[in-house]
Structure 1
């Protein structure tokens, strides 16, 4: 039986992914790649919606791809590629922009938030059309399942609308995708400000756990994580956000339900609990860190792997793009 297609990706926006990326995305992807015909991309075209240093962007792209592989995304099982190495993404994005309403694009919450933060002079047209490129990423591969966080669900809804609109106007062309939203335990918050989602752009890096951090740095951050004065390991996001966040991390990494975590640490203090969380994180991160550094030590082999996968992705993308050109009436030159 043919497997349903899955697509997801992350921007190469930092030297290291953080634990929210790992639990919320990479762990999910690792499991899903057996169930789906999975396409995972390092979406570097999305990264240039804001200013980038060229050399740093290339380095971050390799580092992100290496972390995908080190975390268990298998290039032989999944199609793992760099977005810009498949030109069809940009081509389809332009075509989809021609059926996207200006008001429709302007209602995207993420664009509103970022444009307010950057100001009109620093907000690019690319940032405005970011969701259309994301729609192209998904629709190129006839994707059925799109694992995303809540902040990207609106973009998948736009993708669905564009697929249905194109199919209605030009004939059945695109698979209409469905978002796959991770559960509550996959939502990770800042260790120092557990009311805020963990992010590399946080004002302080003291609350952000990076996959490639040294063990001592990771341990220190965990042991200094904000808790409360109650001294009881109990899940309550409203009243105990710090402890609840650490429980979510521990539960996700050990495969334990939150109720089981409460039982395990009943009658024990936060010191014991934090040590257990620290040990679980270090045990999970260290093999990933070691494998990532090993891959980065041989950039030529990493680039070869990515090129092979990009060729595989391009073959699938080209089939979709050819159908799109034919249906909308563009006179396309034959491809070699």
Structure 2
């Protein structure tokens, strides 16, 4: 844990190193990697294998010149109805989880998005530059609304329920990226359209003000394992699904993990084969086991070829508990250290604001608000 004296010295050093005056520069920059996650409840196994474990891998393999930023995007969570007390707790829970899985404040900038007003300032400026038609072509807002209402088909969603924030949040997402002039963004295929919009917006700004201020962020392809619902393997594992037995949380006890895996949907076909189309439930269990053991799923299927579903589920239980145990225990320890969590959040926000303010000084000068 940091002492107060060291914390103050760190803040002074970060501010002096990052925010010294400079002219607008178009020189090539180091690799800046940014990604974010919503504070919408305890992460589940799909979150872990889809994003969080890759963040730890990126941190581990980063070069000395790389800058890594990981943010908890509280403003994005507000696009859907939230209980304020639940959201406040969820924000702290998510910060504790990021530390529990191995992200380090000494190696990465870990912060709450809503602690840095530069995000919303830039988002408003970008709102005033982004053509309405580009937002209308976005497909994810309707999918999110359908998911929140547990609709089976996006066509079932009444567009009159759409709020302005849910419609324009891709611009805030672009601001999240561009305010740090991020060069690389690790996202899944479902976020490719958002990243393309961020590139379009960066280009619009650069062309409008005849300055290559913003690099065009590149999608950083990282290996991800798509984990599906234990109860409906046609859908991804989700925190918003009404059936709590459909997902494995990183806080689940061994007994809870065992009960959920035992109740997972499979089929009545003899033997174990990997066939996501004909046997989606069985294939999902094989994929979970392969993700936990870092093996090729076809090799796992071959190992279980002559076994029963009960044997497969027992193997999945052991493998999942092996993955979850460490983060679960570390989370339980860190979550009790409220002072340490507050310090990490404060120092992360100060580092993030210092970097973002450099960009915003250039933006304000270019648009005439300096």
TM-score category by the smaller chain? over 0.9
Q: Does 1:267 align with 2:294?
A: no
- CA separation in 2, counterparts of 1:252 and 1:37? 28
Q: Does 1:78 align with 2:108?
A: yes
Residue deviations 1:265-292, cap 9 Å, x none? 2322222211111111111111111111
Aligned match for 2:46, one of 17, 20, 31? 20
Residue deviations 1:119-148, cap 9 Å, x none? 455422111111000000011112122111
Cα deviation, residue 234, structure 1: 2.0
TM-score (norm 1): 0.93
Match of 2:229, SS? coil
CA distance 1:3–1:233, change in 2 (3 Å): farther
Is contact 2:273–2:302 with CA below 8 Å preserved after alignment? no
Bigger mean CA offset, 38-47 vs 206-215: 206-215
TM-score (norm 2): 0.85
Q: Which residue matches 1:29?
A: 55
Aligned match for 1:4, one of 31, 37, 41? 31
Q: Which residue matches 1:40?
A: 70
Q: Does 1:133 align with 2:164?
A: no
- CA separation in 1, counterparts of 2:89 and 2:45? 20
- CA separation in 2, counterparts of 1:177 and 1:319? 18
Match of 1:186, SS? coil
Any gaps of 5 or more consecutive residues in structure 2? 1-27, 150-156
Cα deviation, residue 76, structure 1: 1.1
Residue deviations 1:168-207, cap 9 Å, x none? 1211111111123455x61111011101111111131111
- Kindly report structure 1 stretches of 4+ aligned residues shifted beyond 6 Å: none
Residue deviations 1:230-252, cap 9 Å, x none? 23332211111111111111111
Aligned match for 2:218, one of 170, 178, 181? 178
Cα deviation, residue 51, structure 1: 2.2
Q: Does 1:244 align with 2:270?
A: no
Any gaps of 5 or more consecutive residues in structure 1? 332-336
